[in-house]
Chains A and B, each alone.
Chain A
Amino acid sequence: MSDNDFKSDLMKAIPSLRAFAISLSGKVDRADDLVQETLLKAWAHRDSFTPGTNLRAWLFTILRNEFYTFFRKRKREVEDADGAIAATVGIHPEQEGHLDLADMQRALGKLPVDQREALLLVSASDMSYEEAAEICGVAVGTIKSRVNRARNKLTELLGLSQVPEIGPDNNVKSALAAEAR
């Protein structure tokens, strides 16, 4: 693979790298730093990438490693990401009422980071369980259980009231509201 082809593939991967980095870290500035580090590392190690294999998974692995390097250094700040998140993503709280992006970002920030990354890889990035397992360096079963737990927790955090079809169960709603305090 020529350098130009590789560069062009990097360019194409940027939007999904940013989406992963922003939803993982909760902050756009930090996420863009992560993406930049990822691109530089990928470029420096481009000879170790096997053409024809999964570039996106390879890049996500690099990005994830960068995130955890940062995470270990600044653990508290990352855990405190909730709250600061909505303001930095630059999204409107209500978009035609059907989708509350700030709520989603806040809820993601409340998930344990191992569950958050598993959910983002599988449910948002359309990675297979196997790809996600490889990226995270854990067993496929571990990823499946993390995704399930993350999805359940996210459902709680977002509140059932936003799903009109099911008719909000007020017991659940108030229990969730109480838990969120």
Chain B
Amino acid sequence: MTTQRDPKRPQRPATKKDISLVSKAVSGKLKAYYDDIAAQDIPDRFKDLLDRLDEPKQS
């Protein structure tokens, strides 16, 4: 992350609209991050685990 000033952009205080846009952007990023994880293939260990649950209980 850079802290350098961008001379092309004037400084101004954040407006309500800014805050709302930022909030939306942050929520969108969070959702994208989360969905990206949820879209990963299910690791084999879980398939194996569920398969084993099918086996008759040992007494």
Instruction: State the A residues within 8 Å of B (CB).
Output: 3-4, 7, 10-11, 14-16, 18-19, 22-23, 32, 35-36, 39-40, 43, 89, 91, 99, 101, 104-105, 119-120, 123-125, 151, 154-155, 158-163, 165-174, 177, 180
Contacts and interface: CB of A to CB of B under 8 A. Distances in A.
Contacts of B40: 15, 18
Given A151-B26, A171-B11, A159 B1 contact: yes
Contacts of B45: 32, 36
A161 B1 contact: yes
Given A36-B45, A91-B36, A163-B21, A173 B3 contact: yes
A123 to B, nearest CB: 5
Given A99-B29, A151-B26, A167-B10, 20 more contacts: A7-B54, A19-B35, A22-B37, A32-B45, A39-B50, A40-B49, A104-B33, A119-B30, A120-B34, A123-B31, A124-B34, A151-B23, A159-B1, A162-B25, A165-B25, A166-B14, A168-B6, A169-B11, A169-B14, A173-B3
Nearest to A16: B38
Nearest to A124: B34
Given A22-B37, A166-B22, A7 B12 contact: no
A36 B27 CA distance: 28
Interface residues of B, number: 39
Nearest to B23: A151
Contacts of B22: 155, 160, 163, 166
A130 to B, nearest CB: 19
Report the 7 A-B pairs with minimum CB-CB distance, sorted nearest first: A124-B34, A19-B38, A177-B3, A104-B33, A19-B37, A15-B38, A166-B18
A43 to B, nearest CB: 5
Interface string B34-59: 11111110110111011001100000
B29 A158 contact: yes
Contacts of A151: 23, 26-27
A15 B31 contact: no
Contacts of A39: 46, 49-50
A15 B11 CA distance: 43
Contacts of A101: 33, 36
Contacts of B12: 167, 169
